[in-house]
Structures are given as C-alpha cells and as structure tokens.
Amino acid sequence: MDDVISGSAPTRTLGGSGLSVFPVGLGCMGMSQDYGPADDNESLATIRHAIDLGVTLIDTSMSYGAGDNERLVGRAIAGRRDEVVLATKFGILREERGGPARVSARPQDVARFCEASLSRLNVEHIDLYYLHRVDPEVPIEETIGAMAELVGAGKVRHLGVSEIGPEDLKRAAATHPITALQYEWSLWWRDPEDDVVPTARELGIGLVPYSPLGRGFLTGHDLATANLTAADDRQLDPRLQGDHLERNRAALAQMRELAAETGVTSAQLALAWLLAQGDDVVPIPGTRSRNRVAENVAAAAVSLSDKDLARLEAVASRSAWSGDRQTFAPHRTVRRATGTTNTVGGTQRDSRSSANR
C-alpha cells in the first residue's frame, strides 16, 4: 500500500437531504452501558475532543443508560451546539440504567419521547431522529408519520431508521423522506451488503454503520471473555468464545500485518475499508478515550487503492470470520446468514453479538 494518508477529508452528505457531516462520527453508547464501567469526565472530554478534531455527527439514544447518555452528550455539547449534527433515537425503552429493555414506538408516544430527549440533551431541536427499532405491534407508516409531524413542528430536522429490513425501509421511505439508515456493518459483519445496503442506495438513503470496529475486536485488542469485566456485555458475544475466537484471532492477525505495512492501525484500516464502500457511508465508531477518538478520526484521511482493498479482502473476507451476532429486536425475526431465523426470549439472534444498539 502506497501513500495511504491523503490529508484532510471532505464532508459527506447523507442521502439526498443535504445533511453534511465529517466522514467519521462518534457513537456514545459505551459511555453509559454494555461495555463495563465508564468515567463520565473522560467521556465528556472524549466528546469534546472529537468536536475539536472536526467530528460533527454525535450519536446517542434515549435508551442508552436509561437517558443518562443523552444527559452526558447534552453536557458535552453545551456552548458548541452549532458545531454538532446531533443524532438520537427512540423506540427502545429502558426504565433504569442496566435494566431490561423493550420496544415501543406507538405513534401517540413519539412526540413525548422526543420532548424528553430534547430536555435531556438541553437543545431545541434534534438534527437526525432515528426509529431505533420497528415496533412489531405498529405499522411502520404510523410511527414514521408521527415522526414526520415533529419535522413539521421544527423539533426534528431529518429522520432515520435503525436495524430495519428492506421491505420496512421501503414503506418508511414512502411515508416520509429518510435521511439515514443505521445498521451494524463492518469487515466482520457483512450481511447488510446482501439486501439492506442496496435497498438504501436505491432509495437514496445514507448509510451510518454502527459497531464498525466489531465491538472493539478490530482495534487489535484481545477481547477474549476472560479479559472483560463482569459488567461488559461482550462476554455474551459468540465471536469471542471458543473456536470462533481462535478463527477470528487468526484473521485479525493477518489484518494487523497488512495495517502495519501501511503505517496505520488495524482500526484505521477497518474504518478506511468502510469509507471506501461509498461516499454515502459515515461510520460511527464508539469510544470512551480521547486517544482512541483521535485514531479513529485519522482514518478519514486514509485512502485505499483497488489493490489495497483486494489484499484486505484476501485476508479478511466475509468467510474469514466466525460466529453469530446477537442483536436486540424483540418479537421480530429476520434472516440469518445461514438462511434461518430464531427469536429467543425477546432477543433476535440473527448473527453475531449481544449489544442493545
């Protein structure tokens, strides 16, 4: 790989909406849940440092930490609102921090959810408001219709959806323009490329991959369950256990060697790969560290040639990785990579990990 560092990165526009953002955003979920104890002061500093470095898209949700994450983000952006494209979500309810969660997206509740988020964030409007999960009890047109009313009222600028199948995505877009689709997508989770990504592009919807670093595994750190705290939900990730872990370690080792040849980190290589999938892609890696956010931001200046991408595909192809993910989607089953579906205890196991993103 030659001359991979190409300088500053231009902004990217999500969908046909004109919403322009820095190519790499910041996911804030881990600052309040799932990945073990966090230091609020360091999290605040991380968000502010990301903004200092040019990051504009800041992503949170009403469910993260049962609202605590929105409060944290609101504190971090105080006095800097005009520098931020603020995204939050509704539709997953968590009554208390660390407690169980459920899906609820009834149209009569949407305005109330939005007002609560505005209050916690201490802002007058939300730039990008996502439906976090489709409520299986509510036609998606009704939920999107209620969200559209928020746009008309000036409470919300743009609408997004998260973890939604192609048919529901089409129905949502037919109800109101959808600016962004959020979905797990990374080098080791490629299923969205089969149908979700093509459908979004057909509809002119921007792509916002979450967990683009594989819950942290693609950073090169050994996330074997023995190395995680009891409060870290990644202990439940099948990819980090047994034979799956050994196979994934082997693929990661080759990926790290390739990254070392370029003078970039494996995390930067993973993000650069996603960015190379199209100008409509804006990944939102999560971190609680100022050093890590600087590393992620630098990936926006990494340019991969066709030859680079082919070499990466040879060592970290879709078939190189092992293990299913586990994703929060109560009472709704979707296709697995194997072609089967399974809903267990209100949690959809359609592939690889256990976060409530």
Active site (catalytic) residues: 64
Distances (CA, A) of 253 to 77, 107, 215, 309, 312: 38, 48, 17, 17, 12
**In the chain, which residue ranges form alpha helices assigned H by DSSP?**
40-52, 68-77, 107-121, 140-152, 166-175, 196-203, 242-262, 266-275, 290-298, 306-315
Q: Is the dihedral of CA 196, 202, 205, 209 positive or negative?
A: positive
User: How many residues are present in the chain?
Assistant: 357
Q: Is the dihedral of CA 17, 22, 27, 31 positive or negative?
A: negative
Residue-wise DSSP of 155-193: SEEEEEEES--HHHHHHHHHHS---EEEEE-BTTB-GGG
Q: What six digits make up the tokens of 325? A: 């993910």
CA–CA distance, 356 with 55 (Å, rounded to integer): 24
Cβ atoms of 138 and 107 within 8 Å: the answer is: yes
Q: What six digits make up the tokens of 352? A: 């690889």
Buried b (16+ CB within 10 A) or exposed e, 186-221: bbbbbbbeeebbebbeebebbbbbbbbbbbbbbbbe
Q: What six digits make up the tokens of 67? A: 């609202």
Tokens 């201490």 correspond to 122
Q: Which of 213, 161, 196, 168 is nearest to 182 (CA)?
A: 161
